[in-house]
DNA sequence: ATGAAAGCGCTAACAT
DNA sequence: ATGTTAGCGCTTTCAT
């Protein structure tokens, strides 16, 4: 069953294509009677409308391209969810792409997305290679970089400083009296933001003439299972550790389960700290410290930035709102007095 | 900076639009020298290509529309991930939409997706209302319904029987000697598949003249925190319960944490059972029973069905592979001898 | 191996 | 309030 076209609807309603178009889009100056006939015709034909033609003709797609590194880590779907929510009712629609933490794939996906002529594009992080940045710049649309602030944005920027997050957590753990701190992480070559947190954390330690008493790193992607395994290893080798900083909450939750199996009491014997503030962390049988990143809010903020930019574009007005939106993730799960 | 067009690339290379088009798409009959000149021109202009025009002209988008109910439950991003993986390298590209478990929203999103003229569409479940089904049918493209098998498919179907899953779990729990079984669930009016599992579970109980000794239901979406809260309530009221079936693993994991806080030993005192087989379930400090649904594999199977259908479409050949792909989720986390 | 003409389905801009 | 003309940027088809 071939899809019916506007022309067919118009013919059935006995009007011109143009009138049919106006009627269906709810233009004001169409006779009520005409509108009804057109709508009935469209209904009868199950008319759907061809947005390729619409967008090509009108020169705007109302598409927002979004590129994230992964769908496996809950964090990114949550951001996407926020973006979708923020875009709801604006006529804009998000389209998602996954880069698999791969710069080359990311470039190809961005190119691909740009070929659909989106009205704006949201990408993860600030660490795109030069040629990707060049491509983004020459697209001539608002570019929003989300989730990270540590770097030089192309255009708009929404996120949090992972350097600050790592630093703050180190300060908080030291303030809680922890001295023998270890690190457990994974895929740091791919997850650059986790690397920034770790580096900042280490800088704080170094300032106190301290360093990680042990490190467990793995190439695989972060997961509860991996965090559990690496932690079990580490605890077996270095039982004197009194604190572990993890690349994120998944790993830290796994660490908690490893401690429980080893009969090590959290947090009195050992404090565990992650990053993200996954919902999970509020329900665990023992507290783990974490930085609560507002994923959904970041997504919504990015969406808002775009809708605002579109409005400003229309009015061709001068100033276009703030270019950077800063979030500060609070630390939870860490109480004083655990010395 | 306005986006450059094929015409501009062609002009810069000193050839016609058509030759430039062929050169960029790697058509065989273009002089090597010409091809080089065109590619250089494209490079110089950061030419990206307009897929709206391409698709409008060529009458195919190579887009696969995918509609899922949510991004908050990890399960769906995993399916999307599988679809993306399965589509990689085929020239097809997935586009995602979220229905928020709302039939009306779902219809509008499907309509919207169809307006982009996708080459195929994947939707979640078999329970779309009539008018949505009608719309899908009249789209004239392959329709793949995923994640559920209990119902009448429109076209292709990939998934598992939630009825069977609920039944099998009931049988297994009874075989493990559990008698006082309770149910904890949420959003059953929206998550129809969880409802199917529960109903089938109850049928098994009824056949043994049993029924749930207690039920805790909630309107909110499933989460670890909610599972924990509802379980704590239930255990306080009915300490004699020796088994709880949950609407899914998130809820069950929360249930486990509630038991741990209450000092109730899992699984000896109480067996907890969920659904999905989240990665989490392999690492928890006590086992919870679950049906491992192969989310990623289901996504990949759906993708494969589509790529096969496209090939068959080309050859215009008769038979088009199996229309239904059945997955059987194994039960894990449940050992005999817990009587 | 290259080019010219026509058209994909729609809307913008200008009539009337 | 309705219609006409032109064209969005590309590919298809047919020439050469």
SS (H, E, C) A167-221: HHHHHHHHHCCCCCEEEEEECCCCCHHHHHHHHHHHHHHHHCCCCCCEEEEECCC
Same fold, B59-159+295-328 and B162-292: yes
Domain A59-159+295-328: what homologous superfamily?
Response regulator (3.40.50.2300)
Q: What are the chain A neighbours of B3 within 8 Å (beta carbons)?
A: 117, 138-140
Domain boundaries of chain A, sorted by first residue: 6-49, 59-159+295-328, 162-292
- pLDDT profile of chain B (339 residues), mean per 10: 87 94 88 93 92 95 97 95 95 94 95 96 97 92 97 97 98 97 97 98 98 98 97 97 98 98 96 98 97 98 94 56 90 72
A52 touches strand D (CB under 7 A): no
Question: Can you give the pLDDT at residue A322?
Answer: 67
Contact A13, A38 (CB under 8 A): yes
Question: Can you give the pLDDT at residue B316?
Answer: 45
Question: Can you give the pLDDT at residue A313?
Answer: 63
Question: Can you give the pLDDT at residue B107?
Answer: 95
Question: Can you give the pLDDT at residue A316?
Answer: 45
Judged by CB atoms closer than 8 Å, whether chains meet at B225 and A279 is answered as: yes
**Å separating the CA of residue B110 from the C1' of nucleotide D13:** 34
Question: Can you give the pLDDT at residue A318?
Answer: 47
Domain A162-292: what homologous superfamily?
Response regulator (3.40.50.2300)
Question: Can you give the pLDDT at residue B335?
Answer: 78
Judged by CB atoms closer than 8 Å, whether chains meet at B140 and A282 is answered as: no
Q: What are the chain A neighbours of B52 within 8 Å (beta carbons)?
A: 52, 55-56, 61, 116-117
Question: Can you give the pLDDT at residue A321?
Answer: 59
CA-nearest residue to A227 within chain B is B283
Flag whether the pTM goes above 0.75.
yes
A268 touches strand D (CB under 7 A): no
Question: Can you give the pLDDT at residue A337?
Answer: 45
State the DSSP H helix or E strand holding residue A249, giving kind and residue range, or none if neither.
Answer: helix A249-262
- pLDDT profile of chain A (339 residues), mean per 10: 87 94 88 93 92 96 97 95 95 94 95 96 97 92 97 97 98 97 97 98 98 98 97 97 98 98 96 98 97 98 95 57 90 72
Looking at the complex, report in whole angstroms how far the Cα of residue B226 sits from the nearest Cα belonging to chain A: 9
Please, what is the Cα angle at A156 between A154 and A160, to 5 degrees? Answer: 105
Judged by CB atoms closer than 8 Å, whether chains meet at A76 and B81 is answered as: no
Q: What is the mean pLDDT of chain A?
A: 94
């Amino acid at each position: 069953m071939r899809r019916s076209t506007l022309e067919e609807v118009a013919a059935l309603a006995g009007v011109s294509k143009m009138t049919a178009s106006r009627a269906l889009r709810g233009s004001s100056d169409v006779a009520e009677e005409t509108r009804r006939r057109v709508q009935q015709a469209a209904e009868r034909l199950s008319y759907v409308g061809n947005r390729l033609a619409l967008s090509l003709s009108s020169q705007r797609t109302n598409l927002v391209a979004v590129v994230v590194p992964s769908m496996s880590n809950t964090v990114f779907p949550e951001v996407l969810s926020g973006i979708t929510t923020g875009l709801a009712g604006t006529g804009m629609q998000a389209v998602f792409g996954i880069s698999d933490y791969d710069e080359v794939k990311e470039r190809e996906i961005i190119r691909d997305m740009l070929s659909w002529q989106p009205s704006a594009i949201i990408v993860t992080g600030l660490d795109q290679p030069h040629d990707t940045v060049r491509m983004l710049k020459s697209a001539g649309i608002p570019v929003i970089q989300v989730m990270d602030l540590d770097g030089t944005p192309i255009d708009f920027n929404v996120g949090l400083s992972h350097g600050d997050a790592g630093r703050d957590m180190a300060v908080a753990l030291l303030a809680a009296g922890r001295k023998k701190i270890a690190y457990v992480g994974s895929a740091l070559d791919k997850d650059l933001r986790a690397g920034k947190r770790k580096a900042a954390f280490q800088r704080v330690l170094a300032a106190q003439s301290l360093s990680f008493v042990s490190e467990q790193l793995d190439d695989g992607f972060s997961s509860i299972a991996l965090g559990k395994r690496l932690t079990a290893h580490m605890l077996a080798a270095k039982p004197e550790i009194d604190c572990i900083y993890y690349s994120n909450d998944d790993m830290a939750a796994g660490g908690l389960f490893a401690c429980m199996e080893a009969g090590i009491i959290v947090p009195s014997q050992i404090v565990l700290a992650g990053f993200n503030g996954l919902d999970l962390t509020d329900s665990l049988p023992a507290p783990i410290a974490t930085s609560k990143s507002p994923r959904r809010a970041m997504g919504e903020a990015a969406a808002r930035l775009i809708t605002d930019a579109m409005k400003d574009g229309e009015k061709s007005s001068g100033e276009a709102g703030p270019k950077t939106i800063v979030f500060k993730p609070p630390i939870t799960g860490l109480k004083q007095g655990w010395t």
